[in-house]
Amino acid sequence: MTTPPACPATQLHDLTALEQAAAVQARKVSPTELVEHSLARIEALDAGIGAFITVTPERALAAAADADRAVLAGGRLPPLHGVPTAIKDLNNTAGVRTTFGSAVLADFVPDVDDAVVTALAAAGTISLGKTNTPEFGFPCYTDNDVAGPTRCPWDTTRLAGGSSGGAAAAVAAGMLPFAQGSDGGGSIRIPAGINGLFGIKPSRGRVSNGPYNSEVTALGVQGPLARTVRDAAAMLDAMAGPVIGDPFWAPPLPRGETFLGAADRPVGRLRVGRYLDSGMPGADLDPEVRAAFEDASTLLASLGHEVEDLPGPPLTDGVFPAFEVVWALSGTTLPVPDAAAGRLRPLTRFLRDRGLALSAKDAMEAMFTLRLFARRFIQATSRYDVLLAPVCTLPPRPLGWFGADGDGAADFERQKRYAAFPAVYNVTGQPAVSVPLWWTAGGLPIGTMLVGRPADEATLIALAAQLEQARPWAHRHPAMW
């Protein structure tokens, strides 16, 4: 593949998040200048993208003014001081509308911040608002009755993926240097792959889901989307850490180590197990996806890693029915009264109805199946440092491709075949990333997934940084850049 030469940074949005932070620390640019520039980008571009549900310019500029004063006062500043970001609209933000992508909650304003929102603010970032997400985060694409679809900046006739589609599109279009997302079945990795970004689904328990911890299925985690590995690692450093009372705690890094530091360390020779069969019936791979996978395999081998096919038939085929049950089970606790259920989108209604029809025995058996599968899968693949697989089975889909017929069940079937690979690692709790190594002949990104051992984000970050150095991607931008 040929790649265009890197261009020198000429505007503030050309700077990475870490470059913006360094410029603030050196007093070469102010937080207010960064925030005003990002707000101007949103104003100019978002009508054609749909990355945001709510933009909060007054709050952001007030926070930037406070950040300016902190710079002038001298003293130690937090590591990401003054850098713009945004919060996915599945996360509570005190005093800011939080819709969960649903018209039923279009006017809901929480009085508490989620723990990840507090952590990112403590690291110095400034939120410009709430990024678009599908209704309650269920689909692997982003569209809703509040703000409409999020479009891929590389081709605005295509969907940006989901459920962190707004976050990914905002970063890919240069509205933000990085953004927070969440992932319950691929919701960071899918939009990262579609939009040419690097995204990290951390280990279960790495980032707190507090204070409510409504994710009782233990599938959902919070993570970063960014243009570079180092930016994503720095954001993960800011987000990571438990809150007292969390049910899951990932082992902390050794004292003195950081995820950002992992991006600068030698990775060594790794054993990589690769596979192309997801185990999902009917999930056939597009030739471009296969080409991206083979290219990543070749690149890893050229860097000295041992790449081999996983032996035997896929281990994942038996887990999909149980995952479907548990996914529907999460629809039973939506904050939606029965009288308002008719206002939900067809997919949400389908999942909610399916979940409410389950017996306690059905639910418990499915949960047990997932836990047992996770144990056996991790044991069966323990000889590998990293696993390699596609993210999606097809290139980015056109607007309306999933739900144009208005049938929630048919929509769900299309999503299962399209996103057949990522959800396994929400079940196992392993960290996984999407790496942007391939663009189609038509200029569409296709991400490839790398999966680490339990709680070993550091190796994934080190490996991804090696790939980024060998095949740089951050200079590749959509035409609207």
DSSP 32-57: HHHHHHHHHHHHHHGGGT--EEEE-H
Determine the Cα angle at 234 with ends 209 and 137, to 5°: 35
The Cβ-side half-sphere exposure at 378, using a 13 Å CA radius, reads 17
Please state the pTM of the whole predicted model: 0.97
Q: Quick one: which of 330, 331, 343, 338 has its CA closest to 102?
A: 343
* Res. 7: pLDDT tops 90: no
For 431-445, the pLDDT digits (tens) are: 999 999 999 999 999
For 344-377, the pLDDT digits (tens) are: 999 999 999 999 999 999 999 999 999 999 999 9
Mean pLDDT value of segment 53-72: 98
Q: E-assigned strands of 165-278?
A: 178-183, 198-201, 221-226, 271-274
* Res. 5: pLDDT tops 60: no
The pLDDT, as a whole number, for residue 212 is 86
* Res. 315: pLDDT tops 90: no
Which ranges of 422-456 does DSSP label H, i.e. alpha helix? 424-428
Task: Tell me what percent of the residues of the chain surpass a pLDDT of 90.
Answer: 95
Q: Which residues are catalytic?
A: 88, 163, 187
Range scoring the smallest mean pLDDT among 174-178, 241-245, 428-432:
241-245
Q: Quick one: which of 314, 312, 354, 309 has its CA closest to 331?
A: 354
Longest Cα–Cα distance of the chain, Å, equals 63
Dist. CA 175–CA 171, nearest whole Å: 6
Q: For the chain, give the mean pLDDT.
A: 95
The pLDDT, as a whole number, for residue 436 is 98
Dist. CA 182–CA 234, nearest whole Å: 16
For 216-265, the pLDDT digits (tens) are: 799 999 999 999 999 999 999 999 999 999 999 999 999 999 999 999 99
Task: Tell me what percent of the residues of the chain surpass a pLDDT of 70.
Answer: 97
The pLDDT, as a whole number, for residue 175 is 98
The pLDDT, as a whole number, for residue 215 is 62
The pLDDT, as a whole number, for residue 216 is 78
Dist. CA 221–CA 41, nearest whole Å: 29
Confidence label for 313 from pLDDT (cuts 50, 70 and 90): low
Dist. CA 311–CA 290, nearest whole Å: 19
Mean pLDDT value of segment 319-344: 95
* Res. 4: pLDDT tops 60: no
